[in-house]
Structure 1
Amino acid sequence: MSIPPAIVAAGPSQALDFRQSDIDAGTVKSAGADTSHLLSGLAGGLDLSVQGAGLNGAVKSIVAGTVMPLLRPVLASMLSSLDPLIYNLLQTIGLQLGTVSVAVHAVNCGRPAIVG
């Protein structure tokens, strides 16, 4: 069984607006993807392969054509029941996946600058 890597960056772009009062106060704003369904999203790309001596193409075909379509919904259901637990655990320890935090420290208009 192989599990594809989780992609936690899908979604539309988000605009973050900073006013002068935000800049003066050092306000940090965040944007990112919804990670509340992190585990259940893995089930869709799941791939099961059978390897072993003496297994012929018929067995592999049965697994791919019969077992996997039956197994995917079961795994998706199991993983989706774990999503709230994992999401709350990550929130509790302060870990956010697929999120960027942005602060604006200064604004200079009319002068080119190299930032690093």
Structure 2
Amino acid sequence: MAKQMTEMLKGTLEGIVLAILALKPAYGYEITARLREAGFSDIAEGTVYALLIRIEKRGLVDVEKISSEKGPPRKVYSLNLRGSEYLAEFWSSWSFLEEHLGRLRQLVENPPQEGA
């Protein structure tokens, strides 16, 4: 993945994961699989797990340990009220950026003609 794309994803991955959890609670591997299904195929599992620890510490998700047939119990993450509020703010910020970047792109791609 290009360095620029990696940097952009770092700034938005939290919101993307919260959006995935808004659809349905999930454990780490499931979240990674959903990211890949959504086209974010280059995101490493380790990145997702580190992010899950951060959003748990920030109180954006609730965590429930569910027994697993194989190995230790799984931590299932679900979006809580604080996480939902953060996600709403994320979407608002995203809409703002999308709109303003779109306008800027139009200006760059179709600059006003001098004297027009």
Q: Normalising by structure 2, what TM-score?
A: 0.29
* Structure number with higher relative contact order (C-alpha < 8 Å, ≥ 6 residues apart): 1
Q: Normalising by structure 1, what TM-score?
A: 0.29
